Structure 1
Amino acid sequence: MKKLGLIIAASALALAACGSEENAATTGEPSKDIKLGATAGPYSDMLKQAIVPGLEEKGYTVDLVEFSDYIQPNIALDGGDIDANLFQHSIYLENFEKENNMDLSGLIVVPTAPMGIYSNQFDTLDDIEDGATIAIPNDPVNAARALQILEDQGLVEVDPEVDDLKISERDVITNKKNLVFQPIEAGQLPRAVEGSDLSAVPGNFALAAEMDLLDALALENMPDQYRNLVAVKAENEDSELAKDLIEIVESEEFEKVIDENFEGFGKPQWMTEQ
């Protein structure tokens, strides 16, 4: 029965896309019936609360499609089943494009839940004991982020000759607290708060585990390359919808919703420089 439901859902997406194309062909104008995609969780909530209302004010009828993985949102976007998505940062987008022969485009970076250092053993960074264990992500991109936080907080030093986005454990040249690194899968890091002295938890996994971002001993000073963005097919990056999405994200109303409902989310450089 579950398989049948997935087939029906896929058929509905295809029929809706065809209907949208027929409408555009009949009127000569782009349809304002659109679909936006996001992974279930904070970025789906961001669409619902901070972006969809602005689109509706501009006359769009918006259908929000939620995905349970990080593969399907780009496949759906490339296939025309959705018109834009919000779930990924630029590094992931660029790699996904190359590996899957797609031509997608990031429109604008949005506030993003940062990685944080969490602990049930220590109340502050100053309390960290010599030889404490810290669980960090076992994938290169997120491991580099975790080590960058530790360096920003003065706990380690990494080789200055290595790109900040590519640093790994072997690039640590000074480890002031003799921290013992325990690389594990990123999705397991919230639970590692119980088994390790410290755990570096990416923001999306922290929120999925109902952790409070503000409980972190330290939050990431996130480079914009790691912040999520609104993406469209490259051929649509100059479309009316693309321009409207950018205008809405740049609006005061959008930032107000972020400040009220997404506490702890780090803002991109373009927002902090306004």
Structure 2
Amino acid sequence: MRARKGLCGRVRGDHESWGVGSVRTRHCAVVGIVLAVLGVSACAADRKAGPEAAATSGPVAAPRNLREGLLTQERLPKGFRLTKVEADPTSTAASTTPVPIASLRCDELEVDSFMTRHAPPLENVAADLERTPTGGEGDGWFGRELLDRYAPGRAAEVMDAIRGAAKRCASFTTTLTDGTKIRETASVTPAGVPADDSLLIHFTSTFPGASKPFEKVTGFARQGDVILVVQHSSSHEPSTDTQEVLAAAVKSYRSAGG
């Protein structure tokens, strides 16, 4: 495994990248990513299917262009701010023989570039976000929102593959370049946002001798053929920021259609 440097100087693997941007690392800060894959249609609400289905009350028109579905400063939750927008859609040259998500190594599932490596989209746009520490908080929140567009039907397949990989990787060990072994877990819960499909993956990473694990949550939502991922990375305390930003991103995308 190649070395990758994470928070607090931890060595992980060099495949960790923003995928369509640069990695932002700030000493022991919380790094988050919003990857959004939302699309052009929604299913009718099923009142018995839970809050996610109930909130999807009809078809959702796609924005005139993909970047219009990104979060804006006005649509961000209180305390967050927009730091950069990559407004021009980027076409992704998909490999003819990518390693599918179903076969990726478990340690790759928790890095931000795994979708562009293992399920390349046709098009994506991005926005960088952050929330600075307030009061007695020790961590800020740094992230990115990505809207990834896939060929018809492909986004649903990608979501199924992500869910399957997370279940396969419920417990695994990552070995760093210095031989240190990190015990890691992944668990899946509903995201509870109004989308065709959504989920949260909760990761924990426990270092030898550590009293508490590092925690991060990655959120995914799909609307038609486009997907959303919010990744909160490496904090000693559980955070609801991922779910909060995910919900705001879904709302922003849905309101931009027409």
TM-score normalised over the length of structure 1? 0.30
Answer 1 or 2: which has greater strand percent. Answer: 2
Answer 1 or 2: which has greater helix percent. Answer: 1
Larger Rg: 1
